[in-house]
Structure 1
Amino acid sequence: MIIGLIGFGKVSRNLFNLIKSDEITFITSTEGRSKSTVHNIEESGIEIFDTFNEVASKSDILVSATSPKSALTVAKECGKYVDGIYLDLNNISPDTTLEIDKHVENLIDGAIIGKIDSDNPILYISGEKSDELLFLDKFITTKKISSNIGDVAILKLLRSAYTKSLSALLIETSQIAENHNLEKEFFDVLTLTEGDDFKEKSVSRIVNTVNNSNRKREELEEIIEYFSDSELIMVKAALEKLNR
């Protein structure tokens, strides 16, 4: 079996490292990649082809893990060369996923949940051909959600709505606690009910949100647009907080 990778960031690199089998060969291309990505590809020992179209045509499973902005373009350009499974792992909206489905045969909607470069992330998949990827459970915990394209994308949005709203609330309450010289005590009392690692995870969440506030705002705006028929009071409040 040949698995082709479009993109060689953390997602693709970790899949390459986790899925180890004499019956599986990974391939990719350095076409249009940055110097640092080319270096990572060459250091990995993965088989390299001249173009991604060639990678697509030779793959039994083609994994797209590039960026949300390029996901649809990649699908339009490379999808027509794929005879096997096309697994999209980009953080995209359900609408974009359904648009990709128009250009790709055998699309599987996927998401890596958990720390991307950890030893135990979980792969969630949906789509009519999802059963054909359940063998990956031997290497990475793999869960089929449904046979419907877009279901995993919806779950990604809902998860994002929760985590980003929670991050906004953490930022607000921790700032108030700091203003009252009670930041340590604030996390101490929450740790009693939320778990011993709550403070560490919360601080990491706050720092990540602040450092990537523009992207977080864009993601919240996308959530609000997609679920426009829902109330979303808390999500809209989180967006307002990040805008400030």
Structure 2
Amino acid sequence: MIIGLIGFGKVCQNLVKLIKSDDIRFITSKENRSKSTIESIDNSDVDVVSSFREVAAKSDLLISATSPASSIEIAKKYGKCVKGIYLDLNNISPESTLEIDKYVDNLIDGAIIGKIDSDNPTLYISGKSADELLFLNDFLDVVVISDKIGDVAILKLLRSTYTKTLSALLIESYQIAQNYNLEDEFFDVISVTEGDDFKNHSLSRIKNTLANSKRKSEELNEIIECFSQNELIMVKAALDKFSRL
């Protein structure tokens, strides 16, 4: 089996580490890639072909893990080249997922739940061909939600609604604690109810959010667009906070 990768960030890098089999070959392209991404590809066990169109055409399973903003354009460019399965792992709205479905013959809606670079992430998937990816259970946990495109997209956004607004609140609280030189004490008092690992998890969350605030803002905009009939006070406040980081 050939698994093609469009995007070579932490998600794809970790999948390459986890999915180890003599029967599986990973391919990608350096086409229009940044210097740092090319270095990551060179340091991996992934084979390189000349273009993403070739990646798509040769793949039995094509994984798109780029960014919410580019996911539809990627599907437009390469979706019809794929003879096998097209797995979209971008954090996008159900509407965007259905738009991608117009350009892809065999779409599976997916999400990696858990720390991106963890040893035991869970892959949630939905779509008519979702059962065809159950072989990945040999390498990571796979949960089939339904045969309906968009169900996993809704769950992704609901999860992001919670985690990203929580991140914004955490950053704001931490910044106030810093102003009073009470950072350690801040974590200590909350750890009483949130557990001993709260500080380490929080600092990791803060670091990740600060480093990826632009992408997380894109995801919040997807949430606001998708759930526009809801009040979304906290989501809009989180988006405002990220714009100030």
TM-score, reference length from structure 2: 0.89
Match of 2:126 in 1: 126
Q: Which shows bigger deviation, 163-172 or 109-118?
A: 163-172
Alignment-derived partner of residue 171 in structure 2: 171
Q: Match of 1:143, SS?
A: strand
Spell out the pairing of 1:57-206 with structure 2 (5 A cutoff): 57-179=57-179, 182-206=182-206
Which whole-Å CA distance do the structure 1 matches of 2:214 and 2:4 have between them? 32
The one-letter code matched in structure 1 to 2:137 is: D
Which residue number in structure 1 is paired with residue 44 of structure 2?
A: 44
Note the C-alpha offset of 1:70. Answer: 2.1
Displacement of 1:39 in angstroms is 3.2
8 Å CA contact retained: 2:30, 2:50? yes
Give 1:243 deviation, angstroms. Answer: 4.8
Determine helix, strand or coil for the equivalent of 1:44.
coil
Q: Which runs of 5+ in 2 are unaligned?
A: none
Distance 1:32 1:231 in 2: 40
Aligned CA distance change for structure 1 residues 190 and 50 (closer, same or farther; 3 Å): same
Residues 132-162 of structure 1: CA deviation (Å, up to 9, x unaligned): 0011011011111111111111111111111
The one-character-per-residue Cα deviations of 1:102-133 (angstroms, maximum 9, x if unpaired) are: 00011001111222122111111111110000
AA in 1 matched with 2:49: F
| CA gap 1:20/1:65 in 2 versus in 1, 3 angstroms | same
For 2:217, the equivalent position in structure 1 comes to 217
- The residue type equivalent to 1:130 in the other structure is A
Alpha-carbon distance in 1 for matches of 2:218, 2:35 = 28
SS in 2 for 1:75: helix
Letter in structure 2 aligned against 1:79? G
| RMSD, aligned α-carbons | 2.1
Q: CA deviation at 1:208?
A: 3.3
Structure having the higher Rg = 1
**SS of corresponding position for 1:103:** coil
SS at match of 1:208: helix
CA distance in 2, matches of 1:172, 1:178: 10
Contact 2:68–2:219 (8 Å) recurs in 1: no
CA distance in 2, matches of 1:71, 1:215: 13
Q: Distance in 2 between matches of 1:60 and 1:217?
A: 33
How many residues align structurally? 244
